[in-house]
A = this chain, B = another copy of it.
Amino acid sequence: MTKIDLNCDLGESFGAYTIGMDEKVIPLISSCNIACGFHASDPLVMEKTVAMAKEAGIGIGAHPGYPDLMGFGRRNMNVSPAEAGAYITYQLGALYAFAKSAGVKIQHVKPHGALYNMAGKDYKLALAIAKAVQAFDPELILMGLSGSESVRAAEDIGLPAAKEVFADRAYMPDGSLMPRNMEGAVIHDEKLAISRVIRMVKEHKVTAADGNDIEIVPDSICVHGDNVKALEFVTSIRAALEAEGIAVAPLSEIV
């Protein structure tokens, strides 16, 4: 049976501040990426989010980011590969402790925001991240953008890699995401977005920006749960996948 993972960022609240509708999106997804305190989250939020993910039986991932709470980890920071590796180790360990104390395993690591984007294009940075994950636990899966340097670096060192795709984004002929500042980068037509996802999962193909089909073999689809519209979209994607006989399953059953 064809399987695909649906992953969503969770645990982004911080202190008195709430972001996300975690309780609502958890039943719709198979894996979650839990923020680790650098770009979002705090120890109490991490503890609670791990408990919710355990209860729901979804795959737990560490979601480490840049040390930029004010910018939510979305601003490029020129950290060295050595710094990035140490930041990954630190945050991964912090989440690991909550998981271990709760009696669950960590399934994967997905860098957040600008760190995800920068590592996707910078092999040295991607390699430092992959090595940090591998040094901690060589069985962890590193999730990266399909076709990115992150996936390449993980594969180069023998670390399990998961290829992530986006339902609502256009792809360039080389398999990279169309930059957000280009016309047509975001697909606003939900039906089109869902049909593209279904085709990626079933046929391993997507129509790129130049009109030609390119090959893409997704392991996980990135979804969002921070507003009502996003939740409806996840519900639609999930229904469409199941209608096509595709099982939604955590990464650990796929990679």
Residues of A within 8 A of B (CB): 14-19, 37, 40, 42-44, 46-47, 67-72, 74-79, 82-83, 86-87, 89-98, 100-101, 114, 132, 135-137
Q: For the complex formed, measure the closest distance between the CB of A96 and the CB atoms of chain B, giving whole angstroms.
A: 5
Number of copies: 4
Verify B69–A68 contact, CB threshold 8 A: no
Can you list the 3 inter-chain pairs with the closest CB atoms, starting with the nearest? A93-B97, A43-B86, A17-B17
The reply to whether B43 and A89 form a contact with Cβ atoms under 8 Å apart is yes
Contact: A42 with B70, CB < 8 Å? yes
Q: Are A47 and B79 in contact (CB under 8 A)?
A: no
Q: Give complex CA distance A73, B103 in Å.
A: 30
Given A68-B77, A77-B78, 6 extra CB contacts under 8 A: A17-B17, A43-B86, A68-B68, A76-B76, A91-B94, A97-B136
In the assembly, what is the distance between CA of A44 and CA of B135, in Å? 15
Task: Name the B residues within 8 Å of A94 (CB-CB).
Answer: 89-91, 93-94, 97
A53 to B72 CA separation, bound complex (whole angstroms): 26
Taking the closest CB of chain B, its distance from the CB of A44, in whole angstroms, is: 5
26 pairs from A and B in contact (CB 8 Å cutoff): A14-B17, A14-B70, A15-B69, A15-B70, A16-B19, A16-B40, A17-B18, A42-B86, A43-B83, A43-B87, A43-B89, A44-B86, A47-B89, A67-B68, A75-B77, A75-B79, A76-B76, A89-B94, A89-B98, A89-B101, A90-B94, A90-B98, A91-B94, A92-B97, A93-B96, A96-B97
Contact call B75/A78, Cβ cutoff below 8 A: yes
**In the complex, chain B residues whose CB is within 8 Å of the CB of A86:** 42-44, 46-47, 98
Contact of A136 (CB < 8 Å), options: B77, B95, B100, B136 = B100
A15 proximity list for chain B (CB < 8 A): 69-72
* Docked pose: A89 CA to B16 CA in angstroms: 20
Chain B nearest CB: distance from A181 CB in Å? 13
In the bound complex, what is the Cα–Cα distance between A122 and B219 (angstroms)?
40
Give the contacting residue for A83; candidates B44, B46, B114; CB below 8 A.
B44
Closest to A93 in B: B97
A64 to chain B, nearest CB (A): 10
* Chain B contacts for A135, CB-based, 8 A: 101
Say how far A39's CB is from chain B's closest CB, in angstroms: 9
